[in-house]
Copies of this chain bind each other. A is one copy, B any other.
Amino acid sequence: MHAIIQTDAEDPSALSWQQAPIPELKDGEALVEMKFAGLNRADTLQAAGHYPPPAGVTEIIGLEGSGVVKEANGTTRPDGTPWKNGDHVGVLLSGGGYAQYAAVPQGQLLPLPEGFNLQQTASVIEVACTVWSNIMLTAHVKEGDTVLFHGGAGGIGIFGIQLAKALGATVAVTAGSAEKLETCKKYGADILINYKEEDFAEVLKEHGGADVILDIIGAKYLDGNVSALAKDGHIVIIGMQGGVKGELNIGKLLSKRGNISATGLRYRDEEDKARIVEDTVNNVWPMLADGRITHHIDRVMPVQDVSAAHKALLDGEITGKVVLEIPNA
């Protein structure tokens, strides 16, 4: 098969479409012929050497995608019905998505959302599982809550806005331009904050504070997030674009009985991932099917152009998600 191989570990742009061995299947894994891969910020971190794959996982980049089951290998859906060769699936991966074939644990094979094709499905898996697991399974958003998404016009943000609105929350977002904020508004955001012009914590305080904050910034926003929090609020940190170490004012956190969680999907064990995938399919797929959530794809690019795709993401050019198209094997 062919796959994207990083030919120089020191150069994040040295990503080349080359021959590679087809992955060997373990028990409980299916072989999927990949048709599309979703692009994630984590992919750019891995290329830069900051986000190594878990032990035992391929060095090939790529956390999600879609394709056709080539060898079902006895894998089954959560209800016990077998996956069959030829089934169209979405896949959540610990790595290996930028390739013509991927070995996928059965708990990470997903049906396409009703009305979605393979191209639409490829980049919705990671964002759906991430947003659902964090705002529901970790932070338990409920009707009437105020939810703040940093980077509201990114893949996580656009998806999160719609999911939180579908759950009956008021949604606040930060973004760096009026244009991006307009996109957030279009998807339902109620409180629009240009972080270049306003202090997001002050704005949130005026609105009674955020019950849940989904944060991709980390250290730089830590104190502001605590300030922006409502009583019994929950900050969930899933990225550290603004640094790793920050000062935590425990007194301020305690005065709000606040909670901070720092989480990620990739290093979870298979059982945990299967649980999250099943819960996401049960709860979020119906919202994609009936249009409560629209999946925003910014562009589709050939996987061979992945280096340019990474650059576009890092340059802040992307609203929503990028899909990489994989040539037939």
Contact = CB atoms under 8 A, between A and B. Distances in A.
A150 to B, nearest CB: 14
Contacts of A251: 218, 240, 244-245
Interface of A: 218-219, 222, 237, 240, 243-251, 253-264, 267-268
Contacts of A253: 237, 260, 262
B249 A245 contact: yes
Given A259-B259, A260-B259, A250 B254 contact: no
A324 to B, nearest CB: 26
Given A245-B247, A247-B248, A259-B259, A237 B254 contact: yes
A139 to B, nearest CB: 10
Nearest to A260: B260
A297 to B, nearest CB: 28
Determine the main DSSP class of A at the interface with B: mixed
Contacts of A219: 250
A246 B237 contact: no
A249 B240 CA distance: 11
A244 B226 CA distance: 14
19 contacts: A219-B250, A222-B250, A237-B250, A237-B253, A240-B251, A245-B247, A245-B248, A245-B250, A245-B251, A246-B247, A247-B248, A248-B260, A250-B262, A253-B262, A254-B263, A257-B261, A257-B267, A258-B262, A259-B262
Nearest to A257: B263
A222 B244 contact: no
A81 to B, nearest CB: 31
B259 A250 contact: no
Contact of A250 (B218, B255, B257): B218
A219 B267 CA distance: 28
Contacts of A249: 244-245
Contacts of A248: 222, 245-248, 260
A249 B237 CA distance: 12
Contacts of A218: 250-251
B261 A250 contact: no
Contacts of A258: 261-262
Contact of A264 (B237, B257, B263): B257
A234 to B, nearest CB: 9
